[in-house]
């Protein structure tokens, strides 16, 4: 049984954030609907078929895309496949430990994966090489470099950006020239946390550490919902959930613009 790690935050910090929250203030001075600065850099890794480094405030993640030839799933013999992994390496935070992915990392990878998969961002039906025999497998690897909160949005954004300009490595396999990976319109993920009945977007580490509940929604270009995940040990009211989605629809439009630049 994986024991969820006991998160220790000093009582002083907790009280300080609680006091601020009552006045509708956040520890770093942002408003409840304000993201930290977002920065996207693409093609930062030469060996990868696609890559992107994303910063949201001090949080920094790197997504790398690799394609390999593999067998299709028996129930979709003419479709490629995708696989998403996340590593929380000790490099990125004093709390991260080496070893195989723990529940936190697995949840993170699976939520990012669902957003991409359900919005049909990668055109898997165009990744068949030989029906029933050979298809492209797209590996999305999320590598956290600096952890200051909101990995869900940072990783989702990095994965989307990395896929956007990724190539199919035909040359390496002697299949002819490389070509762009066929993609449609990326999902955009928006994450909120709730503490002291205060719900804020894009939590930083301090906020995550005292948060009672977390909510992530992945939206497509029409603002439709493609994936959602409520996390942590508290609860949301129905209205809070609905409100989060409406707020996310506004944020997602802005973030989508960064992706399309």
Partner 1 sequence: MLIKDGIRMDGRKPDELRPIKIEAGVLYRADGSCYLEWGGNKIMAAVYGPREALPRHIQDPTKAIVNARYNMASFSVEERKRPGPDRRSTEISKVTSEALESVIFTELFPRTTIDVCIEVLDAEAGTRCAGITAAAVALADAGIPMRDLPVACAAGKIDGTIVLDLSSEEDKEGEADLPVAIAPRNEEILLLQMDGHLTYKEFEEALELAIKGCKEVVKLQRKALLNKYKTFEVE
Residues 70-129 within binding reach of its own copies (CB under 8 A): 90, 98
Nearer to partner 1, 225 or 259 (CB): 225
Residues that contact partner 1, how many (by CB under 8 A): 71
Among 1, 6, 12, 238, binds its own copies (CB under 8 A): 1
CA dist 66 → 13, 106, 240, 252 (Å): 42, 19, 39, 27
10 Å Cβ neighbour count for 154?
Answer: 33
Q: Does 223 bind partner 1 (CB under 8 A)?
A: yes
Q: Of its own copies, partner 1, none, which one does residue 58 interact with (CB within 5 to 8 Å by kind)? A: partner 1
Closest separation in Å from C-beta 98 to its own copies: 5
10 Å Cβ neighbour count for 222?
Answer: 8
Kindly write out the interface string for residues 20-49 of this chain, putting x where it contacts partner 1 by CB under 8 A and - elsewhere: ------------------------xxxxx-
Please say whether the beta carbons of 16 and 196 come within 8 A: no
Rounded to 5°, angle at Cα 204 from 256 and 247: 45
Phi–psi pair at 234, nearest 5 degrees: -100, -170
Q: Which residues contact 47 (CB under 8 A, 6 or more apart)?
A: none
3-state DSSP assignment of residue 259: helix
Kindly write out the interface string for residues 156-175 of this chain, putting x where it contacts partner 1 by CB under 8 A and - elsewhere: ----------------x---
Residues that contact its own copies, how many (by CB under 8 A): 3
Phi–psi pair at 3, nearest 5 degrees: -80, 115
Burial of 42: CB neighbours in 10 Å, binned 0-12, 13-18, 19+ = middle
Kindly write out the interface string for residues 105-144 of this chain, putting x where it contacts partner 1 by CB under 8 A and - elsewhere: -xx-xx---x--xx--------------------x-x-x-
**Among the candidate windows 93-101, 125-133, 150-158, 194-202, which touches partner 1 by CB under 8 A?**
93-101
Closest separation in Å from C-beta 259 to partner 1: 20
Closest separation in Å from C-beta 57 to partner 1: 9
Contacts with its own copies, residue ranges (CB under 8 A)? 1, 90, 98
């Amino acid at each position: 049984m994986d024991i969820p790690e006991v998160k220790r935050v000093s009582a002083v910090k907790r009280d300080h954030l609680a006091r601020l929250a009552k006045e509708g203030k956040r520890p770093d001075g942002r408003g409840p609907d304000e993201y930290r600065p977002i920065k996207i850099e693409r093609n930062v890794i030469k060996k990868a078929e696609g890559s992107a480094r994303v910063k949201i405030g001090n949080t920094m993640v790197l997504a790398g895309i690799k394609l390999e030839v593999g067998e299709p799933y028996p129930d979709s013999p003419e479709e490629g496949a995708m696989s998403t992994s996340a590593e929380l390496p000790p490099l990125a935070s004093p709390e991260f430990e080496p070893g195989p992915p723990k529940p936190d990392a697995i949840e993170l990878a699976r939520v990012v994966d669902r957003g991409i998969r359900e919005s049909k961002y990668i055109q898997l039906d165009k990744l068949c090489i030989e029906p029933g025999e050979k298809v492209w497998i797209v590996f999305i690897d999320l590598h956290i470099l600096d952890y200051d909160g909101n990995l869900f949005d940072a990783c989702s954004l990095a994965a989307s950006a990395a896929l956007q300009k990724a190539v199919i490595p035909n040359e390496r396999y002697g299949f002819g020239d490389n070509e762009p990976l066929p993609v449609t319109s990326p999902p955009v993920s928006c994450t909120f946390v709730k503490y002291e009945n205060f719900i804020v977007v894009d939590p930083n580490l301090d906020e995550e550490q005292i948060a009672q509940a977390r909510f992530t929604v992945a939206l497509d270009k029409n603002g439709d919902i493609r994936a959602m995940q409520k996390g942590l040990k508290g609860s949301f009211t129905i209205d809070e959930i609905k409100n989060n989605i409406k707020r996310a629809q506004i944020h997602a439009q802005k973030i989508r613009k960064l992706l399309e630049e």
